[in-house]
Amino acid sequence: MTIAEWCIFGTLMLYLLTIASVKWIGFRRFDNARPRDPAFYNDPLRSRALGAHQNGIEAFPFFAVAVLLAEFRTGPQRLIDELAVLFLIVRIAYVLTYLGDRPTLRSILWSIGFAINLAIFFMPMLRGFWPV
């Protein structure tokens, strides 16, 4: 497996751990019989964790498809790997800013992550222009 493919797995684990950790920390109040109970998410931190989790679910498909398409269409693997690692780092920072209630920085990080996804996605189209 390539580094970029491991980053797909890492991105998946990130959005799962974002919500699992909040449920684990609040285990005395979390009712597994009603895992989507809105009352559990009334707490501001839990609410932000849910938002970060949901955004991770939204961001994951585009990232996974972009990486796999770039690899399938023989984009420069080293660049794909580097951008995938950068995307994962940006996503980790995004989750931390979401949990830390830093909306402006969070939006900037989201935009950077989306730009990275676009770069990976369109990399095969531009491969003739890459110096590698």
In the DSSP assignment, the letter for residue 101 is T
**Whether the Cβ atoms of residue 116 and residue 87 lie closer than 8 Å to each other:** yes
Check: pTM over 0.85? Answer yes or no: yes
The 8-class DSSP code of residue 31 comes to -
Q: Residue range 30-51: average pLDDT?
A: 87
| Burial classification of residue 11, based on how many CB atoms lie within 10 Å of its CB (0-12 exposed, 13-18 middle, 19 or more buried) | buried
pLDDT single digits (tens) 4-39: 999 999 999 999 999 988 888 876 778 878 878 888
d(CA 51, CA 98): 8
Task: Give per-residue pLDDT as tens, 60-91.
Answer: 999 999 999 999 998 889 999 999 999 999 99
